[in-house]
Amino acid sequence: MPISAAQRAALLTATTVLLAAGCTDGGDGAADATKPSGSGVSALTSQKLSWAPCPPPSAAEGGGAAPSPLPGGTVWECSFLQTPLDWSVPEGETIELALIRARAKDPSRRIGSLIFNFGGPGGSGVTALPGFAGDYETLRGRYDLVSFDPRGVGRSDPVECATDKELDAYYALDFTPDDEAEERTLSDAQKRYATGCEKDAGPALPHVGTENAARDMDLMRQVLGDEKLHYFGISYGTELGGVYAHLFPSNVGRAVFDAVVDPDAGVEDGALGQAKGFQLALDNFAQDCVDRGDECTLPGSTVAEIESFITDLLAELDKQPIPGIGDRKLTQTQATNGIAQALYSKEYWTFLEQGLDAADGGDGSILLNLSDSLNGRSETGSYSNIQAANAAINCVDFKERYTLGQAKERLPQFREASPVFGDFMGWALASCSQWPVPGLWEHPDVSASGSAPILVVGNTGDPATPYEGARSMVNALGKGVGVELTYEGEGHGAYNSGDKCVKTAVDGYLLDGKVPTSGTVCK
């Protein structure tokens, strides 16, 4: 059956966010930051933000309606922060970053601002925060909730690489080529995509990386009037938070990292870890199907039989796509994306089961809907810039440049890690092969000696940021900084799972400064 608009919105995760909110880039209802007088960082730190009610989100943010008031009538406010295009030349050209906030419920007990990054990279924080705000209502008791579109994302000088029509064709491509002709087709498409990104972003493209975003956050802290940065990072937001802690350890206040990216992993190790993580989540989905017996509509009485059905279905789609939505067909690539999207949360396993069953019967609409959510495609056919920003930020951050040939050589280990996702993640190593801007690091430095404690929350069933990354982050932050909390659950992230143990620990730290015992396990 088709997924409703409400269900589709609920499927959006910390990595792919299209929930309704918004700021605007002047003239549409949100206020510009007051232009600082003088030049350099001192002038930027003295700028005054002009807050105004948020208008509907831009197309690059995903479209939709303006955010509704919070319980009690609090209105979402938006503004823009002026920040240097190039932090090595702080007195040079500036760009605008879109911000959103909801004021604290109890101003007399206000701690400060709590800044969120919901992941991606490439996710719009301006659209995500109102969508997830219900989960953070307790924290709003003592914090102004604040988020932003990082540079290159949403309304913050977004990187856009192709038209909507071109993106429809691009995402329908075969990203697991079977012969030299398909390899050439993929290589040519990746080249056109990278060229489009460069043409659109121009001189801003080299400056969209994580280190610059971390420096933007410290400027944000100062302009918001906070002595310390209180921070909640999810998924890629944990990497951004770790880089911030490394650059500004003495400025870290109360910080939480949830769904933790492994800071020690380069491109290849990170992709291999994700292949294993998504495979584990698929194993758990299949086991749940087995446990439900005849209630499960998928063929097979064992995990192996159900997963064999899935691999056979994907192989058939590689040969012949099936009807999807309108005149768009469901391809093997889109079906695999749809499966991955549904594995981000156990709540949406029912959509995955329905989608696989429908596709087996020749109806690809549910899996295509899921794939569209992952790629940032709205029901009207327009795309947010989440995937373009994701590519731009990752390719600027990481040095490695794998050719298609080098990616092909590594396919056996990826196939061993995951029969379903291995090929896709193995070939994806070549995503930055033709990127016009060099990368910065092999992996980020997050060592943060002298920082306040950072609560690091790992989820044993997380598909996108495998559990092992939390321990790596704790170790990399350094002795006395990382505090490890384990959640034995499913899905991407822990705080939004509804688990009372996790929520009590996180709220206790952020609201009252109570640091839980490192190694605490929530079941």
Residue 3, CA distances (Å) to 323, 367, 423 in order: 16, 10, 28
Please tell me the distance from the alpha carbon of residue 219 to that of residue 247, in angstroms, as a whole number.
13
Which listed residue (462, 472, 497, 507) is catalytic? 462
DSSP code, position 361:
T
Closest alpha carbon to 472 in 217, 257, 253: 257
DSSP letter string, 262-298: -TT--HHHHHHHHHHHHHHHHHHHHHHHHHTGGG--S
Which listed residue (423, 492, 497, 507) is catalytic? 492
DSSP code, position 60:
G
Q: Are 354 and 1 in contact, with CB atoms under 8 Å apart?
A: yes
157 tagged catalytic: no
Please tell me the distance from the alpha carbon of residue 364 to that of residue 102, in angstroms, as a whole number.
40
Residue 433, CA distances (Å) to 23, 197, 406 in order: 34, 14, 10
User: Is the bond preceding 121 in cis, omega lying within 30 degrees of 0?
Assistant: yes
246 tagged catalytic: no
Residue with tokens 């800071």: 263
Which run of H or of E encompasses 476?
A: helix 468-477
Which listed residue (58, 79, 113, 235) is catalytic? 235
Q: Are 430 and 403 in contact, with CB atoms under 8 Å apart?
A: yes
Residue 94, CA distances (Å) to 81, 159, 363 in order: 10, 16, 49
Instruction: Tell me what percent of the chain is helix, strand and coil, each rounded to the nearest 5.
Output: 45, 15, 40
Closest alpha carbon to 154 in 49, 5, 23, 14: 23
**The two structure tokens encoding residue 409:** 């050589």
Closest alpha carbon to 81 in 147, 136, 33, 36: 33
**The two structure tokens encoding residue 1:** 């059956």
230 tagged catalytic: no
Q: Are 150 and 98 in contact, with CB atoms under 8 Å apart?
A: no
Burial class (CB in 10 A: 0-12, 13-18, 19+), 7: middle
Task: Specify which residues 490 forms β-bridges with.
Answer: 461
Q: Which residues are catalytic?
A: 235, 462, 492
